[in-house]
A = this chain, B = another copy of it.
Amino acid sequence: MKFDEILLEHGGGGRLSNDLITGVFLPHFRNACLERLEDSAVLNLGDKKICFSTDSYVVDPIFFPGGDIGSLAVHGTVNDLAVCGGKPLCLSTGFILEEGFGMKDLKKIIRSMSEAAALAGVSIVTGDTKVVPRGAADRLFINTSGIGIVDYKGSISVKSIADGDAVLVSGTIGDHGAAILTRREGLGFKSDILSDSAPLNGLVEKILKTSPNIHCMRDATRGGLGAILAEMAQQSGLTISVREQDIPVRDDVRGVCEILGFDPLFLACEGKIALFCPADDAQKVLEIMKGHEYGRNAAIIGTVAAGKDQGRLILKTAIGGSREIDLPLGELVPRIC
């Protein structure tokens, strides 16, 4: 698809994001590292392998049930490093503040970032602050970039996903998206749904210690589990089949989705990973997940197959049918992260 202007969907982690990256960014920034299109770049540096990742956070509202833009900015980048097998080492922060933004709110956000960083065991080692005139930005945006150390022997990459792999998810999906939705102005929902925003590096470290055979991990943020699985199916050229009734969804999240007409499969998470490993390892990995506070509701949800229908994501529905899931055009909820 060709567009003369940027649409909201170009930032939504779906098909238009993909088009923008592969059609506009990649042709200019072409290099092997970027072309892998994983959540972090992996680089050799002397005797070490490091990963390097960046994300800007524009979430609205900036304070939401279960977190705020500050903790989210730490968790998001920590998780992008972790799913590439990196032990997060340090973060940078770049603040863009709107003139007139309240100092009290800024302090609250900084405190929350600092607590999130301490919990994840990373240091914020460098930063930058810009202020733009009133109206030139909506309150504040935060960029975090991070460096991690990759010790894992296996190659964690979408290219490592193999025929016969099991697909796991580390917990209930859509919590973050539902928490944001219920707080959007005008919706006036009463609910207790908290964002699942959390640092997953501890969980990932435990998994990697347990199994030398982890093929790929990705955190399900924009576009939810559905978008990342559809993207991974495309990138791997394999068929990913998932069983709808095995995908964990909180009852209240399902309720919000029913009222608003959303599918939890495409609702953002901020503390959940999808993981691919050989079927023989799946049970062991599941148990590790279930033993960790951020993996209690983990489940084995599907399998990978080569053969026809390559590069597709198939959902086996609860009533016994099968339907192909396309990469959504964009994110259902703008400014979700």
Identify the A interface with B (CB < 8 A): 3-12, 17, 20-21, 24-25, 28-29, 31, 33-34, 40-41, 43, 45-48, 50, 52-58, 60, 89-90, 92-104, 106-107, 110-111, 113-114, 117, 123-133, 135-138, 141, 143, 145, 147, 149, 334-335, 337
Contacts and interface: CB of A to CB of B under 8 A. Distances in A.
B24 A103 contact: yes
B33 A90 contact: yes
Contacts of A8: 99, 131, 133
A66 B194 CA distance: 49
A111 B24 CA distance: 9
5 contacts: A6-B101, A34-B126, A41-B90, A56-B128, A136-B138
A26 to B, nearest CB: 10
Contact of A335 (B52, B95, B107, B136): B136
A231 to B, nearest CB: 15
A74 B58 CA distance: 22
Given A10-B129, A12-B131, 6 more contacts: A4-B103, A4-B104, A28-B111, A50-B147, A54-B93, A60-B136
B136 A92 contact: no
A123 B33 contact: yes
B96 A58 contact: yes
A172 to B, nearest CB: 25
Contact of A46 (B24, B29, B45, B60): B45
A92 B45 contact: no
